[in-house]
Amino acid sequence: MKIERVCALYYSATGTTDKAVNTIAQALAEGLEVPLERMPFTKPAERAKGYSFAENDLVVLGSPTYAGRLPNKIAPDFRMRLQGGGALAVPVVLFGNRSYDNSLAELCAAAEEVGFHTVAAGAFVGRHAFTDHLAEGRPDWDDKREMTAFSEKIADKVKNLIGIPAPVRVPGDPEAPYYVPKGTDGQPAKFLKAKPRTDLGKCCSCGACARLCPMGAIDPEDVTSVPGTCIKCHACVRKCTHHAKYFDDPAFLNHVAMLEKSFTEPKANEVFL
């Protein structure tokens, strides 16, 4: 099958999914000797546009895992804004060293629903958005080598295709319920209404947190105010150069403590071809 363009389209609030998807897409473009086009899908304006593809495109679709599935406020955009047009797709999810659960199955299903043909898929470990104690530094150089090897196998598969491939098979149920966060006592931790706080002693009112929030939830005129929906992506926390943003919700912090206690053993990446 002749591919003329590789595209990297990804939602990546803190940059981890961006890193993984572009590593894979870059290696694919080099292996297939075609141009690479990057398509960030993170900010509200980026997700407000439509994206159409054609049969000679190969698209790496990326998303982090939130509570075992795609982010519930972002998942509809993958279905509403993308038109596969018969293009090949490589769904990729990142997970913060707990589990990707059903997120990869959900992304694969969404891709097929909007007209892509999934040819491969992968789940890769990345630093957890909530804490540096889970998968800090990942994807690291070993992960990137795995991503490059994965891309080489995909390129070989694509070059040898003589027709539309059968949908890639991955574990999970795209309709399964979201993972229920728990605290250190094993009971559900309810922090749906938790929002980031601002340390006024550190904040310089630059407005970066408001500009980078993928939900547009932070008031740009008063960055201490979060009138919109917060999905706990931690973009504001991770990207504030003055370290002025933080969460102090007790249930949320209890959940983070449970994760740090229970999921420190490094997890492996998984790929499917």
Verify that 89 and 155 share a domain, yes or no: yes
Task: Tell me the CATH number at 129.
Answer: 3.40.50.360
On whether both 144 and 11 belong to a single domain, the answer is: yes
Residue type at 65 in one-letter notation: T
Q: 94 and 205 in one domain?
A: no
The CATH number given to whatever domain includes residue 218 is: 3.30.70.20
Beta-bridge mates of residue 254: none
Residues 6+ apart with CB under 8 A from 199: 243, 244, 245, 246
Q: Over its length of 273 residues, how does the chain's per-residue pLDDT go in tens digits?
A: 899 999 999 999 999 999 999 999 999 999 999 999 999 999 999 999 999 999 999 999 999 999 999 999 999 999 999 999 999 999 999 999 999 999 999 999 999 999 999 999 999 999 999 999 999 999 999 999 999 999 999 999 999 999 999 999 999 999 999 999 999 999 999 999 999 999 999 999 999 999 999 999 999 999 999 999 999 999 999 999 999 999 999 999 999 999 999 999 999 999 999
Residues 91 and 126 in one domain: yes
- Label the pairing between strands 121-125 and 117-118: unpaired
Same domain, 164 and 233: no
For residues 169 and 212, state if they share a domain. no
Q: Classify residue 253: in a domain, yes or no.
A: no
Classify residue 221 by burial, with Cβ atoms within 10 Å: 0-12, 13-18, 19+. exposed
Q: Are residues 94 and 212 in the same domain?
A: no
Instruction: Kindly write down the DSSP assignment for every residue of 181-233, as one continuous string.
Output: -B-TTSSB---TT---EE-TTT-----HHHHH-TT--S-TT-TT---S-----
Residue 183 domain-assigned (yes or no): no
pTM of the model: 0.96
Helix count and strand count (H, E) for the chain: 8, 11
- To which residue do tokens 């994965």 refer? 150
Instruction: Specify whether 153 is located in the same domain as 218.
Output: no
Instruction: Give yes or no: residues 208 and 171 share one domain.
Output: no
- Domain-embedded: residue 71: yes
129 and 52 within one domain? yes
Residue 34 in any domain: the answer is: yes
The tally of domains found in the chain comes to 2
**Where do the DSSP E strands lie in 3-100?**
5-10, 36-40, 51-52, 57-64, 82-83, 88-95
